[in-house]
């Protein structure tokens, strides 16, 4: 069974003063790694300093995207090797904001994931439908298509995390309902089992989209939900740690 992961996604937020929030998470018992893993994916500018201050704790740090190349003439980009060198353990790939704002395709995301795995990072590959796709009854086709094309051929299950993030739920306060989440997470689990066999059951599938301390317990109790990818509510340690506490309790009652 997959180990629970609560991952924060700071997006383009955070100055050095906000490293105090990272310090608070790193030092908190909810992030001690007893039953769940806790990760903060930070802007590249904060990553190294955060890794240094989290040393000796269970808190993991990650990036939010990476280039497909190891290095080179790609102004403004960050490579997976650079993230790993800074101390990151994970990188978010294919977030809908990258897919829509930067025009990243599933093929590009697969190439980024290959680079990430090559650098020893775990890839958190995001999938999710838009509101128009949901209203058009295309949810399962969209998710299956994104999964099929975004997970690289060479990936092994231990290197992967999948995040289901309905685009219409991100930053909007609209959370997918338990039935909607269960349906998509079930489809993702089946896809992973078809592809990786039994080991597909060990890949964490995170829910993302307006998760907060008030709704986390209900979402985390849904079948095949193995954690969360948390945006806005990860910026303040007090909120983020409440979500971690819910996940700890849930993992405990599931006997993990």
Around Cβ 153, how many Cβ atoms within 10 Å? 6
Can you tell me which of 14, 128, 152, 209 binds ligand PGA, judged by CB under 6 A? 209
Q: Does 210 bind ligand PGA (CB under 6 A)?
A: yes
Task: Pick out residues in 36-75 that bind ligand PGA (CB under 6 A).
Answer: none
Q: Mapped to the 3 state alphabet, what secondary structure does 80-144 carry?
A: HHHHHHHCCCEEEECCHHHHHHCCCCHHHHHHHHHHHHHCCCEEEEEECCCHHHHHCCCHHHHHH
Q: Does 232 bind ligand PGA (CB under 6 A)?
A: yes
Please identify, among the stretches 19-27, 105-113, 116-124, 223-231, the one whose residues bind ligand PGA according to the rule CB under 6 A.
223-231
Q: Does 129 bind ligand PGA (CB under 6 A)?
A: no
Q: How far is the CB of 197 from ligand PGA (least distance, A)?
A: 29
Give 64 or 106: the residue with its C-beta nearer to ligand PGA: 64
CA distance 196 to 179: 25
Question: For residue 14, what is the enclosing H or E element?
Answer: none
How many residues bind to ligand PGA according to rule CB under 6 A?
A: 13
Give 63 or 231: the residue with its C-beta nearer to ligand PGA: 231
Instruction: Based on the residue annotation, tell me whether 95 is a catalytic residue of this protein.
Output: yes
3 state DSSP class of 5: strand
Q: Does 120 bind ligand PGA (CB under 6 A)?
A: no
Instruction: Based on the residue annotation, tell me whether 165 is a catalytic residue of this protein.
Output: yes
User: Regarding beta strands 36-41 and 4-9, do their DSSP bridges make them parallel or antiparallel, or are they unpaired?
Assistant: parallel
Q: How far is the CB of 154 from ligand PGA (least distance, A)?
A: 26
CA distance 92 to 124: 5
Give 165 or 248: the residue with its C-beta nearer to ligand PGA: 165
Within the chain, how many helices (H) and strands (E) appear?
10, 8
Q: Does 128 bind ligand PGA (CB under 6 A)?
A: no
Tokens for 65?
A: 């995207």
Please identify, among the stretches 128-136, 140-148, 213-221, 227-235, the one whose residues bind ligand PGA according to the rule CB under 6 A.
227-235
Tokens for 63?
A: 């990036």
With CA atoms as reference, report the closest residue to 7 among 55, 56, 84, 64.
64
Please identify, among the stretches 74-82, 154-162, 178-186, 225-233, the one whose residues bind ligand PGA according to the rule CB under 6 A.
225-233
Task: Pick out residues in 164-193 that bind ligand PGA (CB under 6 A).
Answer: 165, 170-171
**Catalytic residue numbers, as ranges:** 95, 165
């Amino acid at each position: 069974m997959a180990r629970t992961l609560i991952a924060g996604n700071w997006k383009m937020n955070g100055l050095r003063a906000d490293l105090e929030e990272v310090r608070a998470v790193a030092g908190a018992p909810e992030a001690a790694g007893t039953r769940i893993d806790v990760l903060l994916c930070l802007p590249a500018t904060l990553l190294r300093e955060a890794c240094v201050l989290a040393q000796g704790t269970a808190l993991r740090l990650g990036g939010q995207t990476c280039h497909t190349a190891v290095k080179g003439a790609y102004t403004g980009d960050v490579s997976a090797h650079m993230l790993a060198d800074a101390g990151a353990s994970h990188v978010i790939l294919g977030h809908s904001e990258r897919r829509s704002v930067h025009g990243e395709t599933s093929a590009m995301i697969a190439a980024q994931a290959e680079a990430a795995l090559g650098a020893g990072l775990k890839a958190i590959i995001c999938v999710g439908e838009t509101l128009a796709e949901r209203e058009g009854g295309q949810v399962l086709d969209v998710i299956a298509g994104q999964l099929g094309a975004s997970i690289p051929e060479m990936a092994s299950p231990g290197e992967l995390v999948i995040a289901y993030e309905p685009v219409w739920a991100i930053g909007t306060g609209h959370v997918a309902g338990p039935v909607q989440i269960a349906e998509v997470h079930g489809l993702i689990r089946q896809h992973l089992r078809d592809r990786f066999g039994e080991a597909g059951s060990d890949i964490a599938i995170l829910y993302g989209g307006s998760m907060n301390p008030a709704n986390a317990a209900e979402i985390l109790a849904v079948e095949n939900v193995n954690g969360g990818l948390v945006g806005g509510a990860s910026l303040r340690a007090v909120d983020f740690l409440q979500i971690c506490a819910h996940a700890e309790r849930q993992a405990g009652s599931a006997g993990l």
